[in-house]
Structure 1
C-alpha cells in the first residue's frame, strides 16, 4: 500500500548506499544471497525462540534486499543488456524468506506460547495466492506488451499488503511473539484482501 511512495522517498538514500558499497567484491547477486542467508537465519532463530536475534537477522535481510536493486541499476549503467538473472534470483530468495520466516515464527510461538498454527497457515495461503497472481500477471503482461514498469524486473500489482507492510508485520511478531498468532490473524485478512484486489486488478489490466 505504501511501497510506491516509500520507494520514491527512500530512493536517494539507497542510491547513496549503493554508491558507498560499490566495490567489485560486492555484487547484487551476493547481496541477494545475503538476503536469503539472513532470512533463513531469522527463521531458525525464531523457531529457537531467540526473538531479538531473529529480528536483527530479519532487518539485515530486508536491508540487503533493499540494496541489491539500486546496486544492480547502478552497475547496469555501464552494461548494454539486462539478462534478468538478478531479478529472477531476487524474487526466488524473497519467496523462500517470506515462507521460512512465517514457519519459523509459528514454530517458536507454538513451542514457547502454545500458539495455534492456523493463523500462520492462513498467512502462507495468502502469500501463495498473491505470489501466483502477480507472477502470472507479470508473465502474461510481458507477452502481451502490457507491463507495469516501476524499475523492478517484474510487473507488480499493488495491494494492501506489500513489502513495507510485510517488513512491519514480521518485525512486530518478533518483537511481541506472545501476540504473534493474533497479529497473524489480522495480517492474513489483509493479505487475503490484497490477493483478491490483485486478481481483480490483473484481470481488468489484461482486457
Structure 2
C-alpha cells in the first residue's frame, strides 16, 4: 500500500549505501544471499525464543534486501548484464525468508504462551501462498503478452493493501510482541487475503 512512497523516500539513501558497497568483492547476489542467511537466522532465533536477536536479524535481512537492487542497477549502468538470475534469486529468497519467519514466530510464540494456537499462522501461510501465486502468475503472463508494469523491479508487481513495506512492519511487530503474535497473525492473514483477492481481480482485468 505504501511501497511506492517508501521507495521514493529510501531511494537516495539506498543508492548512497549501494555506492559505498560498490567494490568487486560485493555483488548483488552476495547481498541477496546475506539477506537470506540473516532472515533464516531470524526465523531460527524466533523459534528459540530469542526475540531481540530475531528482530535485529530480521531488520538486517530486510536492509540487505533493499540494497541488492540499487547495486544491481549501478552495475547495469556500467554494462554488466544480468539475464534475470538476480531477480529470480531475490524473489525466491524473499519468499523463503517470509515463510520461515512465520514458522519461527509460530513455534516461538506457542512456546511463550505455553501451547498457543498455531492456526493463525497457518492462515498467514495460506494467504501468502495465494497472494504470491497471483502476482507471480501475473508477472509471467504479462511478460509474454506485453502488459508488464515497469517500476524498476525485476517483476511486474500489482499494487495491493499488503505489500513489502507492510510485511516488514508486521513481522517486526510480532517479533517485538510475541505474546500478541497469534492475534496479529489473524489480522494480517485477513489483510493479505484481501490483497490477494484484489490482485486476482486486477490481474485478470489487466490481462483481458
Q: Which residue of 2 aligns with 1:118?
A: 119
Correspondence 1:88-167 to 2 at 5 A: 88-113=88-113, 114-167=115-168
Where structure 2 has 5 or more consecutive residues not aligned to the other structure, the ranges are none
Following TM superposition, by how much is the alpha carbon of 1:82 offset from its aligned partner in structure 2, in angstroms? 3.1
Cα deviation 1:88-109 (Å, max 9, x = unaligned) = 0000100100000000000001
- Looking at structure 1, the residues matched to 120 and 204 of structure 2 have their Cα atoms a distance apart, in angstroms, of 28
Question: Quick one: distance in 2 between partners of 1:96 and 1:81?
Answer: 26
Partner of 1:177: 178
| Distance in 1, Cα, partners of 2:180 & 2:80 | 50
Q: Give the whole-Å Cα distance in 2 for the aligned partners of 1:93 and 1:80.
A: 22
SS in 2 for 1:124: helix
CA deviation map 1:146-171 (0-9, x unaligned): 10010000000110100110000000
TM-score normalised by L of structure 2: 0.98
Structure 1 runs (4+) deviating above 4 angstroms are none
Q: How many residues align?
A: 207
Report the aligned-residue RMSD. Answer: 0.7
Identify the residue that residue 78 of structure 1 maps to in structure 2: 78
TM-score, with length taken from structure 1: 0.98
Where do 5+ consecutive residues of structure 1 fail to align?
A: none
Pair 1:4 & 2:4 matched: yes
Q: 1:16 offset after TM fit, Å?
A: 0.5
